[in-house]
Amino acid sequence: MSHNVNPKRYENMQYIRCGRSGLQLPRISLGLWHNFGDVTQYETSRQMIGTAFDLGITHFDLANNYGPPPGSAETNFGKILKQDFSTYRDEMIISSKAGYTMWPGPYGDWGTKKYLISSLNQSLKRMDLDYVDIFYHHRPDPNTPLEETMSALDLIVRQGKALYVGISNYPADRAKEAMRILNSLGTPCLIHQPKYSMFERWIEDGLQDVLQEEGVGSIAFSPLAGGLLTDRYLNGIPDDSRIASSSPSLTTEQLTQERLRKIKLLNQLAQKRGQKLSQMALAWVLRGDKVTSALIGASRVSQIVDAVDALDNLTFSQQELSEIENILAG
């Protein structure tokens, strides 16, 4: 049985333009990094994607190696698309990436034209799509000329295999250079995907200024710091959490007493705002519209509902912002 799509799905989601482009993205996007591979129940993945779309989340973010195992998130997403959303492809923004290890040997990693073109061809087969909406280079490659990597992105758009291109994890100077090259090729950079949260703020030291100057949008991944900026760890480590499952993305070293103290103080402030900590953390990332979209991961439907509810209160008083800075600095 296919999914009955909510006819009112566009009524409450907020969409804003991505940089200077005409493309609008939802303020909350769904990332398929961890919980859409073969190790997750297919029906759970299916319900999460259905819920997201019903709430107006039109943007689904994938990469070649998402799973686990690598590739399985794209395969499962392709199946769910076909099963539930075959007539809704044009209402979705689907992205993929290449840049981390995907297959053995010298052509399955980093940033060569050989790797990027081959990887996207594989991704399109796995998802059974003619094109993706956004294709990213996932991380800078110190050993491949930036011109080669960017010309691969340009070629991908000219081949009709992606409508837009972006970069991820690029520091400010490399990002600026990549954008310059893409502009000269006639395929501007649409978007940058950096890691950004209250606990990880490197993009404030130059990158956000570059994005502003260049008219490039941004989508923040790990806005909840891998789950630390939620109420899950307020009373110790739950058995079903990422830390307990020894997930490489979140370790016990990251949950120090010092950090836990900050999480508890932030949680108190969130409660005063009438929000959960996770909702305040998302609102904080989206404050002032410098970030186009916050990219959430989810392991259950309720987390997606909560994230979208964060949009009910995106404004912070000067006092609240100062209080957050004091907590983070303390």
Q: What is the pLDDT along the chain (330 residues), one digit of tens a residue?
A: 779 999 999 999 999 999 999 999 999 999 999 999 999 999 999 999 999 999 999 999 999 999 999 999 999 999 999 999 999 999 999 999 999 999 999 999 999 999 999 999 999 999 999 999 999 999 999 999 999 999 999 999 999 999 999 999 999 999 999 999 999 999 999 999 999 999 999 999 999 999 999 999 999 999 999 999 999 989 877 766 666 665 655 666 778 889 999 999 999 999 999 999 999 999 999 999 999 999 999 999 999 999 999 999 999 999 999 999 999 998
Work out the angle at residue 57's Cα, subtended by the Cα atoms of residues 24 and 126, and round it to the nearest 5 degrees. 95
Task: Say how far apart CA 179 and CA 112 lie, in whole Å.
Answer: 17
Task: Say how far apart CA 54 and CA 36 lie, in whole Å.
Answer: 18
Q: Would residue 317 count as lying in a domain?
A: no
Q: Would residue 275 count as lying in a domain?
A: no
* Burial profile 97-126: b = 16 or more Cβ within 10 angstroms, e = fewer: bbbbebeeeeebbbbbbebbbbbbebbbeb
Q: How many domains is the chain built from?
A: 1
Q: Would residue 279 count as lying in a domain?
A: no
Domain span at 183 = 20-233+290-311
Q: Would residue 121 count as lying in a domain?
A: yes
Predicted TM-score (pTM) of the model is: 0.95
Q: Find the CATH number of the domain harbouring 106.
A: 3.20.20.100
